[in-house]
Structures are given as structure tokens and as C-alpha cells.
Structure 1
Amino acid sequence: MPEDKPHPIPSWLTKDYVQEKLRVYFKSDSLILETLDIKPAIANGENYASVMTRINVEYTTMESREKQATNFLVKTTFADKDPAAHVLIKYGVYTREMDMYQRILPKMADLVREEIRDPRRIFAGTVNVDRSTDSIIFEDLSLEHYKVACRLKKLDLEHTHLVLEKLASFHAAGAVLAEREKGIFKDNYDRGFYNKHTRGYEPVMTNLLKALSRSLNLDEELHHRYQAKIDRIVDHVMVYGERSTTNNPGDFVTLTHGDLWTTNVMFQYDGKGHPTNAIFIDFQFSVWNSPAIDLHYFFATSIHDNLRLHNQPELIQFYYYKLKDALKKVKYAGNIPTLFDFQLQFRARAFYAVFASLMFEPLMVYNGKEEASLAKIMSEGKSGMRFKDDVFQQEALRKKLHLTLPHLEQWGLLDDM
């Protein structure tokens, strides 16, 4: 990625503010914040929906007069003037994620630990949720040697199996929590990337598809075979997307992560380099829907191509039996679909693979020189057009399209639906 300018540090993120929050977190009114160092955690363009800041602190307490040092992460919204904020606010992403960390995830963690009997973390610990500043302070899991896998290299089978195992527990916990606490996901959990309330992402999706279409002019084979099909999808992308996320009677539905890709998973490893745990981060688009949308999104954006193209039925089977086992452990009273029915449900959500692989995945692996932002994706000015064209003209992506487009076409996903 290019060396983008970071977002400005929030004016309210002061020494006094952090000291107040840490006193509550550490349960020590005597805590004195000695030093506060604030730095961007990721560059502008690494995350299209929020701003991440790392704070390094040194503090003392009456109980321990020795100076102690640690790190935290602060997640905040874009400034009101940022075009991204005007899109994202319609989806309720900021209030939803605060609700997830404050109210939902602790209950799900208890279910996973006590009933599924998996003692491993499923999310980063929350230091503070502040609705007045639309911010969340998290534990910095890099201190426990968690790290994000390479978004360019993607995940091998060992990492993929671990994610699917943890995802099955997450989905099972969400389903039984909804049974036990009626209406807990009623408010604000119905607005994923596609929904029946807003089409704020429509210019994002159509502009990306148009840039894909333009890139096909550089490849005679792809141009001849696919450009007309991509151009037609531009006019139907929202309808197809909304149809693919409509819940039907009899579907197994639960709380989904909603934005499950490489950068939103952190791994912990043993001494031999094998992953031992995976935790999920970034719950802004968590939505009540079929777990199939998480699977499509994850497969399309985050795993090795040979797994994506040739092993999906086996991966779904692996996930399904993990889900079925977890649902039995939490004594889920609803209908557990058969593997056959779940495969059909996965197939019915298949347009999500078009959305994830042709629109979002190119952004996720972009490694060019243009500054990346949601504003540039929406813009039809020179700078925005140049960025989008550069995304789709990357050599690695152009080669991958020779695999992805035939794969989607064979499923009938590029034709009238």
C-alpha cells in the first residue's frame, strides 16, 4: 500500500481522558498516567470504515509505585466531513459495534467458554466504550503475540480450518443467545452491505464494477467473454445483493460477523509456527442473517485460490459439523438443517461471492501507489477514477480474473438471475 497520510488524532483523546478510562479499567482511583504516546495503528486506506489509533501509556498506582507500560488500541469514526461517514452512518455501523463489544460479545464469550467448553478467546477485551465520542478502547492483542496473516498471501488449509471452527462456535452462540434473550438482535442488526433500508453502498459497488469493466478492455479474451455480463450486473447489483441476503422460512439464521476477511482475524501461534487460536475483530457489519454470507465472503477474500476454487464443498462440510456439534452443546432448540439443506442455503446466497470477489477483494489486495479511501471509490473525479483503474489493472488481479470469472460463470452467477 502507498504511504498514505494518517487521519488526525481525535482532539478529545487527551491525557486526562485516557487516565479516567484506565482508572475504571484497572479499578484503581490512584492511577496516574505518566506518559501518553499516540500513533496511527494503520495507515489511511488499510481500513475503509473506521480509524485505528495505538496509544502507548506509562502509569503508576498507589498499589504499585513502579512505573508500568502497556499499549491499547482506540477505534473511532471518520470525521463528519469525510464522505465515508455519510455512507456508513446510514448502516448504523458505529452504534452496532459499540453494542457488540459492550453487550453482545461478553455474553457470547461466556457461552463459548462455559457450554461449548472452548477456553480460548473469541474477541479482544474491551477497555471502554464511549458513545459520546463513538469510540472503543481495546486491549492490544499484539502483546499476547496475536497477529494478522498476510492479506496478499491469504490463508492455507490449517488457518482456514481454525477460522471455520471458531466461526461455527460464534454462530452457534449467536443463535442460542437469540433464543434465550428474545429480541436481543431486533434493533440495528438488519443492515449489512445489502439490506432493505438503505442503498448507501450502491455508488461504491457500481463504480467498482465499472472499473472492472474498463480493465477488461486490456485483455481481449476476458473482454470478449465477460465485459457485457459485468456491464449488465452494474444495473442489477443491489437487487441481486438484496435477494442473496433475504432470509426465507426454514433458513438457519444467526448473528454473522458480516465482514470476515484476513485483516479481521488475528492468530496466535505455538512454538512451531502452527496457529492455535483465531479471534475476530471489527464487528461493524455484524448482521442477523444466514451464516452462508460469512462463508462466501471469507472464501472469496481470504483463502488460497486452490481452496477457493476446488475445496468449497469440503470446507462447508467441515464447518457444518463444527456448527452442528456446537449447537448441540448449547442445547439449541431450533431446527438444525441437514448438511444437504445447508449446502442449498449456501448456494442460494451465492451472489455474495460475486460481490466479495469482484468488488471488495480487489480493494483488499491493492498494493499500488494511489492513496486508498472510500471517498475515492465513490468519486468520479480524476483522482477517484485513477485510483479505481489502478486497483483493477494490478497484474496479479488481472491474472486472477482468469480463474475467478470462469468460476463464477460456471455457477451461473454472471447471467440473469
Structure 2
Amino acid sequence: MSHSAPAWLTRDYVEERLRSYFKDESLRLENLDIRPALGNGENWASVMTRINVEYTKKNSKDKESTRFLAKTTFPDRDPAAEVLMGYGVYTREMDMYEQILPRLAVLVRDELGDSRKLFAGTVNVDRKRDSIIFEDLSLENYRVADRLKKLDLEHTYLVLEKLANFHAAGAALAERQPGIFSKNFDRGFFNQHTRGYESIMRNLLQALSRSLELEPELRERYQAKIDRLVDHLMDYGEQSTSIIPGDFVTLAHGDLWTTNVMFQYDDEGHPINAIFIDFQFSVWNSPAIDLHYFFSTALQANIRLKKQPELVQFYYYKLRDALKVVKYSGKVPSLFAFHQQFRNRAFYAAFASLIFEPSMAYNGKEEASMEQIMSSSEKAMRFKDDLYQSEEIRKKMHFTLPFLDHLGLLDVM
């Protein structure tokens, strides 16, 4: 299932944007091909469209070709659109691409000495239509890792290195431009303003509870805890994202899972750069929420369960060194204190593991959409049950539930 391209994405519209992007009013669009960019279950908060173009310029009769990606809102009547609008995601991402990311890129390049690409170049931001047109990074041989196989250690270390630079640059930018994150950067998945995601999260947890009927051992140990968690998850989520005095806080990506990272590889197949995409839920908060979310949704299971303290330490040292280079004047916590901050945000791991990760790993044939999660129709219930009753997720719950339970994340908090 994929959404249709927006009706306003016409030949004239694309030609006008190309002329502005290439700074050439003589450019003539010769051919335009528009098609969905993502498949079922690969994107939950926007419509992604690939734009293939052929064009000519005044001084050349030869056709040139390239392609771009357009990111747009769901149609007005789509139930997901109403939920997402309450979080300000479209305005925030446009702010990120127009105002924030270019400044962060300069900081990372000039002060941290990392000349590698930080984000996709922007062709056009259209606030009237809540849309962004980007470079298609596949032209530079960037690609998304397999969301089902997840990331190995080599990819994970690279992401953590780039994430530390991103967080350090965000903290430095906030010091240099006070108030730059004061508007619209306080609405992550959990916040004090809206609970628009509540029905989605409750419905998914209830589907998890139903799936435990197929696993007698898990049902006996965890079903009652999951059922109780349904009524408390929003409170716990908001607690886990409340800023605690003394914590280090910065600009967090907010939605760092497998398909929101693109990798570039060398000739031997080793990743040499990682860039982040999809900044709709970027938020001013603890960097620990990015770590928990990333560990819970993007890492191979054995790495996630056995390597977390080591990975937190690796990230922390990169962050500490980067903050020193950018002359951050705020208090930098010790590694011990940062581990405490990480533990204080641990409910984010339960939320990401139990509620979002099964949707992210979905590979079934049912229509995968927020509307399906929100609905109580027979078709929608079948989809939600399919999410949790797949063989892969059932296997995963045998180690995910004990892992979270041992940390006290399924008990009264």
C-alpha cells in the first residue's frame, strides 16, 4: 500500500522548482515521472514520492536527467494527518531543513573537522503545502540498511559517532543562538501538550497482550503486566522525557530507526558515512532518548542485549570530545552520571521495543498504516494481530520481555 502523489505536484510546479534550484530560468522540463518512493511499512508519518526528471537548458540541446524525493503530508481526510498535525511535525521538519541543519553542518564541518555529508540537500521547502523536495541520495550511492536484518556493530559505531557530533553541534548552536529551539521543539512522541498517539500506542499494546495467548509461558509471566501498562504508558512516557535539572540536553533526532539512516559504502562494502533523514520528531531533550530508541529499533538482537553499556560508553566519549572542540560551556556529565541519565530514560526502551519496533519490522501482506492501527474494523484488527503474531516477533518477545522486566520497566514505576 502506498499513497498517491499529491495532485499539486504537477509538471509546471516541478519545472518552476528546478529553475530555482539550478538558478536557470531557461531550464525546460522535458519528461516527468512521479511514483511512490517507499513500500508497505517503510514510512508511517508522511508520503514519499520519487520524482524522475529529464530537462534541457538554453545552452545545450542534450537532455540531462536526475531525480529527487518529495516529502508531503497525508491527505487531509487521512486520520493520521490529524494526529500528526497536533505534534507540529511538518512545520518542525521544514524549520530543520531551512534553519537548523545548514547551521549544524557548518559546525560539524568547520569545527569538528568532519567534511562528510550530514543530511540530504534541500531543493525546495513549500510551507503552503507542507512539503519538502530533497536530493535523492541514492545517486551518491547512499542506501538504507535492511530494516529486517538490523544493524551490525560496524554500522552501529558509525551511527553513534555521527550522532554524537549531531548532539554536540545542537548543544553548541543553542548556546550561540539562544531560543533557537524554544518554539515547536518540545513535542516528541511524549510531551506535555498532546496525547495524539495515545490510541495508537494503546491499540498496539493490546495487540501484544492478545498475541501472548499463543505463548503460555509468556502469558503467565507478562500478560497482566502488559495489560496494566496500557493504562499507564502515556504517564510513564512523559516521565521518561521530562527534562531533569542537571541533565545534559540537546537537539535529539527523535525518530532514529533503521530507515531514517542512510549509509554510503567503500569498494569493499564497509560503511564510510551515515546520514540522518526524517526530522519530523526532532526535539529538545536528553540524548538518551535517541540512544534507547536506536538501540531498541535498529540493532541486531544480540548487540542490543549484550553491548549496551559498551555502546553508551563509546557514544559518551565521542560526545564529550566533540563538546570540548565546539567549546560548549555547559556542564558535561561524567560517564557515570550519563549512565544514570540513560537509565532514567529507560522507559523509552520499553515504548520503542513493544509498541513501535513490531510495526517497523512488519513484513506481512496486510496494509500497514497508522489508520489501520487506529481503526477497530475487522481488517484493522487483523493487521494489528498480524504485527505481533508473526513468527519473528513472537521469537523476539521471548528475550525482549524478560530484558525489559529485569529492568523494572513492566512494573509500577
Shared fold per TM-score greater than 0.5: yes
Question: Does 2:195 match 1:195?
Answer: no
Asked if the contact 1:7/1:44 (under 8 Å) is kept, the reply is no
Identity score, percent: 71
Q: Which segment is superposed worse, 10-19 or 237-246?
A: 10-19
Question: Does 2:25 match 1:29?
Answer: yes
Question: Does 2:174 match 1:185?
Answer: no
| Counterpart pick for 2:348 among 344, 349, 352 | 352
Question: Does 2:119 match 1:139?
Answer: no
| Counterpart pick for 1:323 among 319, 336, 348 | 319
Q: Which segment is superposed worse, 305-314 or 39-48?
A: 39-48
Give the secondary-structure state (helix, strand or coil) at the position aligned to 2:362: coil
In angstroms, what is the RMSD of aligned CA positions?
A: 0.7
Partner of 2:243: 247
Asked if the contact 1:38/1:53 (under 8 Å) is kept, the reply is yes
Give the secondary-structure state (helix, strand or coil) at the position aligned to 2:98: helix
| Counterpart pick for 1:297 among 282, 293, 303 | 293
Count of aligned residue pairs for this structure pair = 413
Question: Does 2:232 match 1:216?
Answer: no
Deviations 1:326-356 (A, max 9, x none): 1111111111111000000000000000000
Deviations 1:159-191 (A, max 9, x none): 000000000000001000000001000110000
Q: Describe how 1:269-284 pairs up with structure 2 within 5 A.
A: 269-284=265-280
Paired with 2:123 and 2:76, the residues of 1 have a C-alpha distance of 25
Give the secondary-structure state (helix, strand or coil) at the position aligned to 1:66: strand
Paired with 1:12 and 1:25, the residues of 2 have a C-alpha distance of 18
Could you list the runs of 4 or more consecutive aligned residues of structure 1 that deviate by over 6 angstroms after TM superposition? none
Give the secondary-structure state (helix, strand or coil) at the position aligned to 1:65: strand
Question: Does 2:400 match 1:404?
Answer: yes
Paired with 1:305 and 1:134, the residues of 2 have a C-alpha distance of 37
Q: Describe how 1:54-65 pairs up with structure 2 within 5 A.
A: 54-65=50-61
Partner of 2:390: 394
TM-score, normalised by the number of residues in structure 1: 0.98
Following TM superposition, by how much is the alpha carbon of 1:44 offset from its aligned partner in structure 2, in angstroms?
4.8
Give the secondary-structure state (helix, strand or coil) at the position aligned to 2:66: strand
Asked if the contact 2:41/2:362 (under 8 Å) is kept, the reply is no
Paired with 1:297 and 1:54, the residues of 2 have a C-alpha distance of 28
Partner of 1:76: 72
TM-score, normalised by the number of residues in structure 2: 0.99
| Aligned amino acid, residue 107 of structure 2 | L
Paired with 1:42 and 1:53, the residues of 2 have a C-alpha distance of 8
| Aligned amino acid, residue 51 of structure 2 | I
Specify every segment of 5 or more residues in structure 2 that has no aligned partner in the other structure, as ranges.
Answer: none
Question: Does 2:147 match 1:174?
Answer: no
Paired with 1:412 and 1:268, the residues of 2 have a C-alpha distance of 39
Paired with 1:337 and 1:66, the residues of 2 have a C-alpha distance of 58
Paired with 1:366 and 1:8, the residues of 2 have a C-alpha distance of 21
Asked if the contact 2:41/2:360 (under 8 Å) is kept, the reply is no
Partner of 1:258: 254
